[in-house]
Amino acid sequence: MSKKSNKTSSGGTIASNRKARHDYFLQDRFEGGMALQGWEIKSIRVGKVNISDSYVVIKNGEAFLFGAIITPLNSASSHVVCDPERSRKLLLNKRELNKLIGATERDGFTLIATSMYWKGPWVKLEFYLAKGKREFDKRDDVKDRDWSREKERMMKHSKR
């Protein structure tokens, strides 16, 4: 029996949290696998995932994803009781867990999920150690972005 090659499951991004870069200073990047149920994989393949308000919490030496919503399919989930907002366990190394525990408890960092993607047949979650931005930090970012755009316009017109 031959395997079907699904274009969406070969390496593309499933869902992303674009608001995270605006609201947080992102420091260190981490990648972790997720312990998922069968109905969740089917829904992910269709693209019914939202991680815009999701974050990672460490409890009892294990990492869990909170706030991610995976909407169940009507046809695939008829015999299973589905909880779209359940917490999902992240699969990380002990060394990574120790680093995350230290950063969140001592240094006041939080763990923000930024994207969910396929890596081979597995679903991976990318998350960052992050510090929250204040309102004036966000305004400074907007000013810097506008100034860089204005510089590009001036350089473009001065070359003519």
Is the pTM for the entire model greater than 0.85? Answer: no
Q: Kindly report, residue by residue over 81-119, the tens digit of the pLDDT.
A: 788 888 999 999 999 999 988 888 888 788 999 999 999
Q: Which CATH class is domain 10-133?
A: mainly beta
| Residues facing 64 on adjacent strands | 57, 89
Question: Residue 160 pLDDT more than 70?
Answer: no
Long-range contacts of 40-47 (CB under 8 A, 24+ apart): 40/70, 40/88, 41/123, 42/73, 42/76, 42/77, 43/70, 43/71, 43/72, 43/73, 43/76, 43/77, 44/14, 44/70, 44/116, 44/123, 45/6, 45/8, 45/9, 46/73, 47/8, 47/14, 47/15
Q: What is the mean pLDDT of the chain?
A: 84
Provide the residue ranges of all domains of the chain, joining segments of one domain with +. Answer: 10-133
Q: Kindly report, residue by residue over 36-64, the tens digit of the pLDDT.
A: 988 888 889 988 899 998 999 999 989 99
Question: Residue 127 pLDDT more than 90?
Answer: yes
Question: For the chain, what percent of residues have pLDDT higher than 70?
Answer: 89
The answer to whether the CB of 18 falls within 8 A of the CB of 127 is: no
